[in-house]
Chains A and B, each alone.
Chain A
Amino acid sequence: MKDLYLIYKNLTRNKLRLFLTCFAIFIAFFLYGLLGALKGAFDAGIELSADDRLIVVNKINFTQPLPLAYFNKVKAIEGVKDVSHANWFGAYFQDQRRPMVGMAVDPETYLQVYSELQLDEASLQRWFNDRQGMIVGEAMATTYGWKVGDRVPISSNIFSQADGSHTWDMVVSGIFTAEDKQLDTNYLLFHYKYFIETQTFGSDWIGWMVLTTDDPALNEQVAKAIDALFANSSSETETSTEKAFNKAFIEQIGSIGFILTSVVMAAFFTILLIVGNAMFLAIRERTREIAVMKTLGFTATRVFRLVLSESILLSLLGGLSGILVAYYTLEAVTSIPQIRSILPNLLLSKEIFLQALAYMLGLGLITGFVPAFRAMRLNTVQALTRG
Chain B
Amino acid sequence: MNDQVLFELKGISKSFVKGKQEISIFKNLNMSINKGDFLAIMGPSGSGKTTLLNMLGGVDQPTKGDLLFGGDNISRYSESKLAQWRADHVGFIFQFYNLMPMLTAARNVELPLLLKNLNRSQRKKSIETALKLVGLEERAKHIPAELSGGQQQRVAIARAIVSDPDILLCDEPTGDLDRKTAVEILEILQLLNSEFNKTLVMVTHDPEAAKYASQTLHLDKGEFVEQELAV
Contact = CB atoms under 8 A, between A and B. Distances in A.
Interface of A: 2-3, 5-6, 9-10, 12-13, 288-289, 292-301, 380-381, 384-385, 387
Contacts of B94: 292, 384
Interface stretch (B3-11, B83-91, B202-210, B223-231): B83-91
Closest 6 CB pairs of A and B: A297-B87, A13-B102, A297-B86, A299-B83, A292-B98, A9-B102
> Which interface residue of A5, A6, A288 has the most chain B CB atoms within 10 A?
A6
B60 interface: yes
Contact of B60 (A2, A12, A289, A381): A381
- The A interface, classified by DSSP as helix, strand, loop or mixed, is helix
A5 B107 contact: yes
B187 interface: no
- The B interface, classified by DSSP as helix, strand, loop or mixed, is helix
Given A3-B114, A297-B90, A380-B59, 15 more contacts: A5-B107, A6-B103, A6-B114, A9-B107, A292-B98, A295-B86, A296-B86, A296-B92, A297-B112, A297-B115, A299-B83, A300-B80, A301-B80, A381-B54, A381-B60
Nearest to B96: A387
B71 interface: no
19 contacts: A3-B114, A6-B114, A9-B103, A12-B102, A13-B101, A288-B98, A289-B98, A289-B100, A292-B92, A292-B98, A292-B100, A295-B59, A295-B86, A297-B84, A299-B84, A300-B83, A381-B59, A384-B59, A387-B96
Contacts of B83: 294, 297-300
B133 interface: no
Contacts of B54: 381, 384
B80 to A, nearest CB: 5
Contacts of A293: 111
A247 B50 CA distance: 72
B93 to A, nearest CB: 11
Interface string B107-149: 1000110110000000000000000000000000000000000
Contacts of A6: 103, 114
